[in-house]
Structure 1
Amino acid sequence: MSPTDILLVVAAGLGAGVLSSTVGVASLLSFPILVGLGLPPVVANVSNTLGLIPAGLGGVAGYRQEVREAGRLAWVIALVCAIGAVLGAALLLGLPPGVFEAVVPFLILFTCLLVGVQPRVARWLRARHERRHGEQLSERRSMSPLTTFFATVTGVYGGYFGAGAGVMMVAVLGLGTDLELRIVNGLKTLSLMVGNIVAGLIFVFVAEPRWDVVGLLAAGSMIGGYLGAVIGRRLPDGVFRWSVVAAGVVAAILLF
């Protein structure tokens, strides 16, 4: 790689790290840059996954307070995303390239809609429950079986490709729990980190990453992940929510 290419990959890692810890669309920036530098798509995807592991580590370090507040739920998220990432990595390596290309943009747009309308839907469901049962619905601090299922599916997608996986996890946790958005953001960052670690470990043994690219991405992404967490913790709920929606829409348009 030329000096310009090296700087570009490090900058891509830095920017992807910031996006990972804020709006959750890191691969939207880094993956196209790797492909643009001439890496085959699968090699670029594998190298990108490994190079963004430090972004997750930096992001979770920045969100350590929120992850601690989530308590047992953080462990559940880590477990289901690890299981999902194994399945997703197997799909990436076993299926022909582009199998889900037609579906993914619509999936991301749908989750953007869910993130946008989540407060109204949550209020409507709570009011409906209170009218039917005459009692207040207790605060949901854990995941139902249905929410757990969708979190696992999100983990599968994260292991397979991952662009927009953070948006999907925000939608799942926003609708399935009553956690504050800052905690949801911390858990989203945790889920992306776990997915990248698990999928990355598989790729080390069965794929052929470009280790020079991985190292350069990692150098930028760890710093970016921590900076993104610092930014994300200070974003008002409304700004965070609509930033996630906007990022998801952009991701869907580019994937179209």
Structure 2
Amino acid sequence: MEQFGLLIISLLANLLSALAGGGAGLLQFPVLLFLGLSFATALATHKIASVALGVGATLRHLREGSLEPRFALFMLGCGLPGVILGANLILDLDETLAVLALGCLTCGLGLYSIFKQELGMSASRRNRDLNGMLIGGAGLFVIGALNGSLTSGTGLFVTMWLVRWFGLDYQRAVAYTLILVGLFWNGFGALAVALQTPPRWEWLPVLLIGSMLGAYFGAHLGIAKGNRTIKRCFEVLTLLVGAKLIWDGLIGL
């Protein structure tokens, strides 16, 4: 029953994450803590399992051919150093205030998207000159550091950053987030955390299966339903993730 419960939670969490462009930790990570894992062990287990989110989404999105290789490499080059930095710092830091601040920012993302009705509905290429790329890269580095250190919501930040700064529509921004953040950023973060704290190995197979299946079907739904549905899912999930992070931060004060 424990394994079956983990499978269902992982499936649902990653389906929603693949549809909205982030937020798998909203359900998956708290469940691991509830089942008795320490923060460090739960973090390592969740990080490794979340790599399958990228695998499942990649299998679906690559069929659409919607990624620009040069821009994908740019995202990796800017984000991965931040991921490694954040993953090496988190186990030594008090994260309470960071979680509270991140919760407020995440809720802000959802509200911003709600009030900007046409945001992300169509692609409008912008900020691709040198200054724009430098600022955009710095933003990805900061989000990468948050991705390596915290457990919920940072994929949503990447999705919004790609929409707002670089002018991608929601569907393409989610594709970049799921493949590059889910597969590569999470992969490097998982390795960095696992080298410091071992995960719960016997739970990983079922979590990986649930993550991969949920990501594949979530990506399929996102492609089939289009930008409007993805935008609404993004807004709902950012508000839920933000509220959870604020609650966690207040409890920890």
Q: TM-score, normalised by structure 1?
A: 0.85
1:108 equivalent in alignment to 2:114? no
- Among 113, 122, 126, the alignment partner of 1:140 is 126
Distance 1:33 1:231, change over 3 A: same
Task: After the TM superposition, list the runs of 4 or more consecutive aligned residues in structure 1 that deviate by more than 6 angstroms.
Answer: none
1:152 equivalent in alignment to 2:141? yes
1:179 equivalent in alignment to 2:168? yes
1:58 equivalent in alignment to 2:47? no
Q: Which runs of 5+ in 2 are unaligned?
A: 248-253
Please state whether the residue corresponding to 1:178 is helix, strand or coil. Answer: coil
1:241 equivalent in alignment to 2:222? no
> CA RMSD, aligned part only?
2.2
**Greater Cα radius of gyration, structure 1 or 2:** 1
- How far apart are residue 120 of structure 1 and its match? 5.8
Q: Could you tell me the percent identity over the aligned residues?
A: 22
Aligned residues: 239
Q: Give the distance between the partners of 2:112 and 2:139, measured in 1 at CA.
A: 13
- Among 235, 244, 247, the alignment partner of 1:254 is 244
Please state whether the residue corresponding to 2:168 is helix, strand or coil. Answer: coil
Does the 8 Å CA contact 1:56/1:193 hold for their aligned counterparts?
yes
The one-letter code sitting in structure 1 at the alignment partner of 2:35 is L
Distance 1:237 1:37, change over 3 A: same
Q: Give the distance between the partners of 2:50 and 2:119, measured in 1 at CA.
A: 33
Distance 1:139 1:104, change over 3 A: closer
Q: Which moved more, 1:109-118 or 1:43-52?
A: 109-118
Q: Which moved more, 1:239-248 or 1:106-115?
A: 106-115
- How far apart are residue 216 of structure 1 and its match? 2.0
Query: Which residue in the other structure is 1:204 paired with?
Result: 194
- How far apart are residue 230 of structure 1 and its match? 0.5
Does the 8 Å CA contact 2:55/2:212 hold for their aligned counterparts?
yes
What does residue range 7-18 of structure 1 map to in structure 2 within 5 Å?
7-18=4-15
Does the 8 Å CA contact 1:20/1:56 hold for their aligned counterparts?
no
The C-alpha deviation readout for 1:84-128, integer Å capped at 9, x for no partner, is: 2101101212213535132121111122234335566799xxxxx
Q: TM-score, normalised by structure 2?
A: 0.86
The one-letter code sitting in structure 1 at the alignment partner of 2:70 is R
Please state whether the residue corresponding to 1:241 is helix, strand or coil. Answer: helix
The one-letter code sitting in structure 2 at the alignment partner of 1:139 is R
Q: Which runs of 5+ in 1 are unaligned?
A: 124-137
Distance 1:6 1:120, change over 3 A: closer
Query: Which residue in the other structure is 2:154 paired with?
Result: 165
Q: Give the distance between the partners of 1:119 and 1:81, measured in 2 at CA.
A: 28
